Amino acid sequence: MDNLLQIQNGQAVSRADIPDLDFTVFQQTVLDATLHGGFIVQFFAYEDEQSMLKLIAVIRSGLKLYVAGCSLAEEYPSLTPQCEKFHMFEREIAEQFGVRPKDHPWLKMVRYHKNYRGKEDIFGNDYSQDIPGNYPYFTVDGDAIHEVAVGPVHAGIIEPGHFRFQCAGEKVFSLEIQLGYQHRGAEKLLEQAGLPRNRLPIIAESIAGDTAIGHSLCHSQAIEALANLEVHEGAKIVRTIALELERIANHIGDLGALSGDVAFNPPLAYFGRIRGEFLNLTLTMAGNRFGKGLIRPGGIAFPVLAEHRQIMRNKITDETPGLTNVCDLLFSAHTVLARFEHTGTVSRDIAEKLGLVGYAGRASGLPYDSRITFPTEAYDQVESNSNERTVGDVLSRASVRREEIMHSLQAIPKLLAKEVDAEPISVPPSYTLAPDSFVVTINEAWRGEVSHCLLTDKEGSILRYKVKDPSFHNWTGLAMSLRNQGISDFPLCNKSFNLSYCGFDL
Amino acid sequence: MLKVIQNRREQGYRTTNYPKEPITLYSRYRGLPTVHQECDKELARQCAEACPQQAIDADKMLIDIGRCTFCGQCEIQSQGELVTFSNNFELGTSSREALFTSGSLPALAEHSKQHFKSLFGRSLQLRQISAGGCNSCEADTNVLGTPFFDLQRFGIDFVASPRHADGIHVTGPISNNMKAAVLSTYEAVPSPKVVIASGCCSISGGPFWGSKDVVGDLNSLIPVDLYIPGCPPHPMTTLHALLHFFK
């Protein structure tokens, strides 16, 4: 770790302090870290003021967070053959900047868009043509092999993506997931020169609308660090509660959907209704069921007072017994357990190699929870959670969700008991960002580690805005969970991960 | 089995009697805004300038709820002098122009196409397409199937195949990468068919307006029949719009 600079979550550092390593030293350093228990938080390229291409790696190892950088040539030896964690990150860099990672084992586009530098396309795509473009799928040869292609438009109300299965009969040998359909150019928009600053939080909370609180927290904390804004204790508590309500609502909805996927309808109906109660609690604070509009750099936009705390306390008291019983109904039905157990297993070894995060990681035995490792907001007042079943199957992922619902239901009343009123910030907000600075923010949103990374130039304008949704790590985990499974188990496996398409496609 | 019965008893009957009985949303919910015409012009100009979505026209004293994300900043900034958001969730319109409002919208039921009512009034099947949607519009459309709203009791349902559908319900700012899929799904729906733009993204690009990677306006691709504003639209907004437009 000698060549890396240790940093703190949500604390700005000067760009000049980031070690600017020789590429081979950089490569050896990040490989050493990631092959020995370290995980990638961010790994991205940017063009500096002189249009020189730079590479930044933010790595977490144990309780510590590190950063290092280097200059990037038009071609470099890929890190993926030695460490799978880099696989998607290197493809993303190739797509965004037209840089070739030599000997990358599966170099193809991530989202289908022109690179930012107007360089020749690495993948040989002609972007005047509509997606899917020109690229191969992983195939399995043999007389008995058949291929199943699904999407982008799926049955049901769900985001688009393409899934390509290689099967023998019912059995799936390989699943390749090709996304990109949801690409809206969010990063480019966030760093667009002259973009009014007050657009940033609006864009941030729509990066993934089901994670509006997670992404807007990361955004606000990054701005607060760069602009040196103080957040009131009461606002921190509200923001923590909002993130936990988001977790509860999404987990409840997914438990219902999992129940529906195994044709056990009562919990589907009950969880569906109860999820709405928690979305309505977010509305009580934010005026919006997903919490859009609530979190802004410097604090919160609306007051949260005794009246609102009482509504939340009452609702949690009213709904907890019923919710507990519906959970018991789901997890004690033997027909449900028979479908959940040993389905879609991702071993700890694979999960670690891929760097899975959130409940998908925890269900496979990787206990990382950034609420505990890199606490923000009021998380120093929230006790840690533990998980019983962590063997990586659908049942593990479902049980972890149930445990997290119960944990959050206990955490919120304790936070409410502080009885701190939170006054809103003034609008329109005005702030200046520290020049030549770097900040990375990490929050444990419901799917896992969300991270935003900002670099400013010498005028304090945003030079690079990098967003990472936990889905960027975890989609590969879903693909692995389908190996040697029946294809009919795909919906169940998919829902147990429930990953974000737009969060991946940005 | 015993647990199923116990839970059934405990959960009870939860479906709303809407539209027979009205629903009042919590006061903080930001629904239909009113632009106060008597507001100081300078304050109106300041709020319009600070609006992230550039949804306020300070000269005409209108707000475009097809662009607005209902973030509430203008109400806070003007301390309610320029804009106040009500908890009225009835926001659907049949024309883009009607979304430029100072506080009232035309009655939706009187502005829908009469042949839609006779064709789809008793049974309406929709194919949902998320085209760059952030999953909040999608999620709050999906909840219409939960027991509280129970959309199917009105003969309205979301179906898997466009061949089985009477129309499409589109969310998201139409990412360039979904444009072809939106058009082919639309073509796959048999005529006569209805097109619904849901959420400010599909109406105006929403938070992503100005991005080169999105189309930003469904109406520029295919003619839209029904607009449902919001970021995302509240499920009641969608329910109200569907019932009034088709029933």
- Residue A428: is its pLDDT beyond 80? no
Mapping DSSP to helix (H, G, I), strand (E, B) and coil, where does residue A150 land? strand
pLDDT per residue as tens digits for the range A48-69:
999 999 999 999 999 999 999 9
Specify the pairing of strand B33-35 against strand A53-61.
unpaired
In a domain, A202, yes or no: no
CA–CA dist A334, B231 (Å, integer): 41
Distance from CA of A494 to the nearest CA of B (A): 16
Q: Is residue A436 part of a domain?
A: no
pLDDT band for position A252 (cuts 50, 70, 90): very high
Give the end of a domain, one of A75, A100, A134. Answer: A134
CB contact under 8 A, B3 and A196: no
Angle of helix A490-497 versus helix A233-261 axis, rounded to 10: 170
Q: B107 pLDDT band (50/70/90 cuts)?
A: confident
Total tally of structural domains belonging to chain A: 3
Residue A451, domain member (yes or no) = no
Total CB pairs under 8 A between chain A and B: 215
A69 and A160 assigned to the same domain: no
Separation CA A323–CA A410 (nearest Å): 13
User: What percent of chain A is modeled with pLDDT above 90?
Assistant: 90
Q: What is the DSSP letter of A196?
A: -
Q: Is residue A392 a part of any domain in this protein?
A: yes
Task: Inform me whether the pLDDT recorded for B124 exceeds 90.
Answer: yes
How far is Cα A462 from Cα B75, in angstroms, rounded to an integer? 28
Instruction: Quote the CA–CA distance of A189 and A193 in Å, as a whole number.
Output: 9
* Cross-strand pairs, A57: A43, A68
User: Are A31 and A128 part of one and the same domain?
Assistant: yes
pLDDT in the model for residue A131:
80
**Domain extent at residue A93:** 5-134
Residues of B in contact with A283 (CB under 8 A): 25-26, 28-29
* Spatial CA neighbour of B176 closest among A95, A110, A112, A155: A112
Question: Can you give the pLDDT at residue A367?
Answer: 95
Going by their DSSP bridges, the two strands A64-71 and A53-61 should be labelled as antiparallel
- Whole-angstrom distance, CA of residue A424 vs CA of residue A296: 9
d(CA A342, CA B81): 60
Question: Is residue A189 within 8 angstroms of chain B, CB to CB?
Answer: yes
Q: B3 — alpha (psi -120 to 50), left (phi > 0) or beta?
A: alpha
Is residue A321's pLDDT more than 90? yes
How much is the pLDDT for A354?
A: 95
Q: Give CB contacts under 8 A, 24+ apart, made by A96-101.
A: A96/A44, A96/A45, A97/A45, A97/A47, A97/A53, A97/A72, A98/A74, A98/A122, A99/A45, A99/A53, A99/A72, A99/A73, A99/A74, A99/A75, A100/A74, A100/A75, A100/A76, A101/A75, A101/A76, A101/A77
The answer to whether domain B109-246 has CATH 3.40.50.12280 is yes
Same domain, A27 and A110: yes
Q: Does some domain include residue A221?
A: no
- Determine the residue of chain A that is closest to B70 in CA distance: A293
- Amino acid at the residue A48: D
* Contact yes or no for B173/B215 (Cβ under 8 A): yes
Residue A19 Cα, gap to closest chain B Cα (Å) = 34
- Cβ distance A353 to A85 under 8 Å? yes
Structure confidence at residue A249 (pLDDT): 97
Domain containing residue A67: CATH number: 3.30.460
**A36: exposed, middle or buried (C-beta count within 10 Å: 0-12, 13-18, 19+)?**
exposed
Q: What is the pLDDT of residues A264-302, one digit of tens each?
A: 999 999 999 999 999 999 999 999 999 999 999 999 999
Which band of pLDDT confidence, cut at 50, 70 and 90, is reported for residue A132? Answer: confident
Query: In B72-204, which ranges are E strands?
Result: 83-85, 100-101, 124-130, 156-158, 167-171, 194-198
**Strands of the A162-168 sheet, one edge to the other:** A145-150, A162-168, A171-178
Q: Does A128 share its domain with A251?
A: no
What is the pLDDT at residue A126? 87
A121 with A170, same domain: the answer is no
Q: Give the pLDDT of residue A416.
A: 93
The reply to whether A270 touches chain B by the CB within 8 Å rule is yes
Residues 6+ apart with CB under 8 A from A294: A213, A216, A238, A239, A242, A282, A285, A286, A287, A288, A300, A301, A302
Q: What's the pLDDT score for residue A430?
A: 84
For residue A375, is the peptide bond before it cis, meaning its omega torsion is within 30 degrees of 0?
no
The answer to whether A409 and A320 have CB atoms below 8 angstroms apart is: yes
Helix locations, A389-489, DSSP H:
394-416, 471-481
Cβ within 8 Å of B, A 347-386? none
Q: Write the pLDDT tens digit of every residue in A394-415.
A: 999 999 999 999 999 999 999 9
Tokens (6 digits) for A183: 């690409």
Contact B204, B66 (CB under 8 A): yes
Verify that A313 and A425 share a domain, yes or no: yes
Q: Are residues A269 and A382 in the same domain?
A: yes
A70: how many CB neighbours lie within 10 A of its CB?
A: 23
A159, B133: Cβ pair inside 8 Å?
Answer: yes
Considering the domain architecture, whether residues A140 and A123 belong to the same structural domain is answered as no
| CATH number for position A330 | 1.10.645.10
Q: How many CB atoms lie within 10 A of CB A113?
A: 23
Q: Is residue A461 in some structural domain?
A: no
The answer on A384 and A238 residing in a single domain is: yes
Domain boundary among A376, A411, A430: A430
Per-residue pLDDT of B147-185, as tens digits, reads 999 999 999 999 999 999 999 999 999 999 999 999 999
pLDDT for the residue numbered A290:
96
Q: Note the pLDDT of residue A21.
A: 94
Do residues A51 and A99 share a domain?
yes
User: For residue A163, how far is the Cα from the chain centroid?
Assistant: 20
CA gap A424, A378 in Å, rounded: 17
Mean pLDDT value across chain A: 94
Nearest to B138 among A159, A276, A301 (CB): A159
Please indicate, yes or no, if residue A298 is contained in any of the structural domains: no
Residue A213 lies in a domain: no
Q: Is A22 exposed, middle or buried (0-12, 13-18, 19+ CB in 10 A)?
A: exposed
B29: chain A residues, CB-CB within 8 Å: 283, 287-288
What CA–CA distance (Å, rounded) separates A212 from A466?
17
Q: With a CB-CB cutoff of 8 Å, which residues 294-333 of chain A face chain B?
A: 301-302, 322, 325-326, 328-329, 332-333
Strand arrangement, sheet containing B56-57: B56-57, B62-64, B100-101
List C-alpha distances in Å: A36 to A60, A70, A77, A442.
11, 21, 20, 21
Q: How far is B95 from chain A (nearest CA, A)?
A: 25
Q: Looking at chain B, which residue has its C-alpha nearest residue A424? A: B76
d(CA A312, CA A269): 23
Contact A501 B135 (CB under 8 A): yes
DSSP for A265-304, written as a single string: HHHHHHHHHHHHHHHHHHHHHHSSTT-TTTEETTEESS-B
How many C-beta atoms lie closer than 10 Å to residue A130's C-beta? 14
Which residues neighbour A397 within 8 Å (Cβ) at sequence distance 6 or greater?
A359, A360, A363, A496, A497
Nearest residue to B205 via CA among A180, A189, A198 = A189
Of A430, A461, A484, the last residue of a domain is: A430
Residue-level pLDDT at B116: 86
CA distance B96 to chain A (A): 23
A62 lies in the same domain as A120: yes
Task: Measure in Å the smallest separation between the Cα of A241 and chain B Cα atoms.
Answer: 17
Q: Which residues contact A362 (CB under 8 A, 6 or more apart)?
A: A368, A369, A387, A390, A400
Residue pLDDT, tens place only, B25-63: 999 999 999 999 999 999 999 999 999 999 999 999 999
Q: Hey, are the CB atoms on A288 and B70 less than 8 Å from each other?
A: yes
Residue A72, SS3 per DSSP: coil
The three-state secondary structure class of A47 is strand
Could you read off the pLDDT of A331-387 as tens digits, one per residue?
999 999 999 999 999 999 999 999 999 999 999 999 999 999 999 999 999 999 999
Q: What integer pLDDT is reported at residue A134 of this predicted model? A: 75
Domain ranges of chain B: 109-246
Report the C-alpha gap between A103 and A219 in whole angstroms: 35
A383 and A395 together in one domain: yes
Rounded CA gap, A1 and A23, in Å? Answer: 16
Beta bridge partners of A462: A456
Q: Is the pLDDT of residue A1 over 80?
A: no
